Chains A and B, each alone.
Chain A
Amino acid sequence: MSLQKLRIGLVCPYGWDTPGGVQNHVRDLAEYLIAKGHYVSVLAPVINESAIPDYVVSAGKPISIPYNGAVARVLFGPIAFSRVRHWISDGNFDLLHLHEPAIPSISLLACWAAEGPLVGTFHAAAKRQKAIFAIGPILEPVIEKLTARIAVSEAARETLTEHLETDAVVVPNGIYADLYRDGEVRAEWSGNTLGFIGRYEEPRKGLSVLLEALPIIARFAPDVRVIVAGPGDSQDVRDEIDPQLRHRFEFLGRITEKEKADFLSSVALYIAPNTGGESFGIILAEALAGGAAVVASDIPAFDSLLGGGEYGALFQSENPQELAKVVIDLLRDADKRKSLAQRGKVYAQRFDWDVVAEDIFSIYEMALVGGKGVTLSSENRAWNRFLGREGN
């Protein structure tokens, strides 16, 4: 990375202390850039202001709105806008990096208020969003201020082209591939095991699809077991499981990074039956890096992350029969499973933060050419030009 030390402002649209892929991405990126010696300030909505790291500046408490099939905790309004303006004018930034600037959030407000080198990252991959179509003409002049656009996947890029008629460079979300490279195989998790990681109580994570597929799988693989890791109240979920299948389930609760690495090395297949609302699918990148053979639903984000099935098997989303078919096929054919996992592991290196952050930084450098730092947006620049003054 370059020796030049920058002052970088990152804007995270979603509540900092609520779990989510975008928040994790912003946090990791901020910490990576700080470790490289840059000055980084993150502006984000925050619920509990006493528990944030010192590089985060609170923009206020987020409000919950339904968005993209899930509840988004975002923030906007006049008070937030004035905080955004203060943050920009006090920060004296060389560059702003706005995440998800096309949704009503402080990212959009920052894009509105700022001028200079602006980079925007688009995370969402959603087809046919009528809301965006409706406000497209209003967004257009704001979004076109961005010097450079990044999409986290091909699917996100298509969404962007479709809705806002603008192109983007694809840079994926990052993972710390090192953490998952050398997991140990644990006997209690190996065998004909299906792994699942995530907040399994949320319907969109699709555990119910796996539940429906399980009786069919069990007919062909009598010793199949499902191991579920992630926070949640397992008793509620357990009660809903057919008593005949209950003994096949094991709930681990929240696991550590080390356990996650071992988990991914041990399970026969990693299953991601998500039904939607996924912007990138970072867990799949981690599963691949951990050497697991992956079976995932064919929602746009997963399809593009798995290279259309090249690095992990896909099944039609919300179709338990097809999930069962794919799983049985792979459980029976160990060679096929191993070669799939091997291809995936090599491929997953491109999601490592060292690669991803380098790509993002190279885009920063390009955005900085000819810029003189970030300032509050001036609506007078055209007048300056008409009056013959040297405007910028």
Chain B
Amino acid sequence: MEKFLSIALVVIFIIWYLSYSATRLDRLHHRVETSWANLDGLLQRRAAVALEIAKSDIADPASALLLTAAAHQARDAQMQTRSQAESGLSGALGLLLNDGHLVDGYIEKDLLRELSELTDKIRVAIAMHVDAVTRTQMVRKKPVFRIFRLAGSAPLPVTYEFEADVL
């Protein structure tokens, strides 16, 4: 009887642990999704601001063309080419803004302020997303999660080269 009880306890514990682990992983997947949604939204907004800048007096015609092309590329990019396209946009914005010419006019100043605020936020959003992704990958590598297939059919989150490339 005692033997039966202890076996039952062990089984209950194992079931609890698996359920707990699956819940843990589910939360992590949720974190990856929401942090990506956040980053994606910010990047979309940046592309929109870049287009505004291209139309404004800040950009000369040549830079405007370059910027418009880069912004559209970033907006339309597929997952695989997204990182590259976003870096392209960063490059185009950098070329235009780092040559140090002064900007006057309310609208232009507003645009530039919005862009710099977005850049700060994107930096944080990247950190949050990368952390969620690496965390999830680490947890999914653990034997318990692999053997019992606790991830179910959820795809393994991928790291993009965001840290170095986007900004």
- A: residues with CB less than 8 A from B are 115, 141, 144-145, 147-149, 165-169, 362-363, 366, 369-371, 378-383, 385-386, 391-392
Q: Is B56 an interface residue (CB 8 A)?
A: no
**Contact in complex: B34, A371 (CB < 8 Å):** yes
Residue ID in chain B nearest A392 by CB atoms: B30
Q: Residue A145 contacts which of B19, B27, B37, B125 (CB distance < 8 angstroms)?
A: B27
Q: Residue A147 contacts which of B23, B34, B121, B127 (CB distance < 8 angstroms)?
A: B34
Q: How far is the CA of A145 from the CA of B28 in the complex (A)?
A: 7
**Contact in complex: B19, A362 (CB < 8 Å):** no
**Contact in complex: B28, A366 (CB < 8 Å):** no
- B126-143: CB near A (< 8 Å → 1, else 0) gives 011011000100110000
Q: Which residues of A contact B125 (CB under 8 A)?
A: 366
Q: Which residues of A contact B120 (CB under 8 A)?
A: 362
Residue ID in chain B nearest A366 by CB atoms: B38
Q: Residue A141 contacts which of B24, B127, B128 (CB distance < 8 angstroms)?
A: B24
Q: How far is the CA of A383 from the CA of B34 in the complex (A)?
A: 21
CB proximity to A under 8 Å, residues B94-149: 120-121, 124-125, 127-128, 130-131, 135, 138-139
Q: A144-B28, A369-B34, A369-B41 are in contact. Are A166 and B135 (CB under 8 A)?
A: yes
Q: How far is the CA of A321 from the CA of B135 in the complex (A)?
A: 46
How many Å from the CB of B125 to the closest CB on chain A? 6
How many Å from the CB of A225 to the closest CB on chain B? 45
Q: How far is the CA of A369 from the CA of B35 in the complex (A)?
A: 8
Q: Residue A370 contacts which of B22, B23, B37 (CB distance < 8 angstroms)?
A: B37
**Contact in complex: A144, B26 (CB < 8 Å):** no
Q: Is B152 an interface residue (CB 8 A)?
A: yes
**Contact in complex: B19, A379 (CB < 8 Å):** yes
Q: Which residues of A contact B150 (CB under 8 A)?
A: 382
How many Å from the CB of B32 to the closest CB on chain A? 11
**Contact in complex: A382, B19 (CB < 8 Å):** yes
Q: Which residues of A contact B138 (CB under 8 A)?
A: 165
Q: Which residues of B contact A362 (CB under 8 A)?
A: 120-121, 124
Q: Residue B26 contacts which of A147, A366, A370, A391 (CB distance < 8 angstroms)?
A: A391
Q: Which residues of A contact B24 (CB under 8 A)?
A: 141, 144
Chain A CB within 10 Å — which of B28, B34, B121 has the most? B34
Q: How many A-B residue pairs have CB under 8 A?
A: 69
Q: How far is the CA of A168 from the CA of B127 in the complex (A)?
A: 8
Q: Which residues of A contact B27 (CB under 8 A)?
A: 115, 144-145, 381
Q: How far is the CA of A145 from the CA of B23 in the complex (A)?
A: 11
Chain A CB within 10 Å — which of B25, B26, B33 has the most? B26
Q: Which residues of B contact A392 (CB under 8 A)?
A: 30
**Contact in complex: B128, A144 (CB < 8 Å):** no
How many Å from the CB of A115 to the closest CB on chain B? 7
Q: How far is the CA of A362 from the CA of B26 in the complex (A)?
A: 26
**Contact in complex: A169, B127 (CB < 8 Å):** yes
**Extra A-B contacts (7), CB below 8 Å, given A167-B131, A366-B125, A380-B23:** A166-B135, A169-B128, A369-B35, A369-B37, A381-B27, A385-B22, A385-B152
**Contact in complex: B131, A166 (CB < 8 Å):** yes
Q: What would be 14 A-B contacts, judged by CB atoms less than 8 Å apart?
A: A141-B24, A147-B31, A147-B35, A149-B131, A165-B138, A167-B127, A362-B124, A366-B124, A366-B128, A369-B38, A370-B33, A379-B19, A382-B23, A392-B30
How many Å from the CB of A21 to the closest CB on chain B? 24
How many Å from the CB of B167 to the closest CB on chain A? 14
Q: Which residues of A contact B139 (CB under 8 A)?
A: 144
How many Å from the CB of B38 to the closest CB on chain A? 4
Residue ID in chain B nearest A363 by CB atoms: B124
Q: How far is the CA of A148 from the CA of B130 in the complex (A)?
A: 11
Q: How far is the CA of A125 from the CA of B152 in the complex (A)?
A: 39
**Contact in complex: A370, B124 (CB < 8 Å):** no
Q: Residue B23 contacts which of A148, A166, A371, A379 (CB distance < 8 angstroms)?
A: A379
**Contact in complex: B128, A148 (CB < 8 Å):** yes
Residue ID in chain A nearest B125 by CB atoms: A366
**Contact in complex: B26, A382 (CB < 8 Å):** yes
How many Å from the CB of A390 to the closest CB on chain B? 13
How many Å from the CB of A140 to the closest CB on chain B? 9
Q: Is B20 an interface residue (CB 8 A)?
A: yes
CB proximity to A under 8 Å, residues B1-42: 19-20, 22-28, 30-31, 33-35, 37-38, 41
**Contact in complex: B124, A169 (CB < 8 Å):** yes
Chain B CB within 10 Å — which of A145, A366, A386 has the most? A366
Q: How far is the CA of A391 from the CA of B152 in the complex (A)?
A: 14
Q: How far is the CA of A168 from the CA of B135 in the complex (A)?
A: 13
Q: Which residues of B contact A144 (CB under 8 A)?
A: 24, 27-28, 31, 135, 139
Q: How far is the CA of A379 from the CA of B124 in the complex (A)?
A: 30
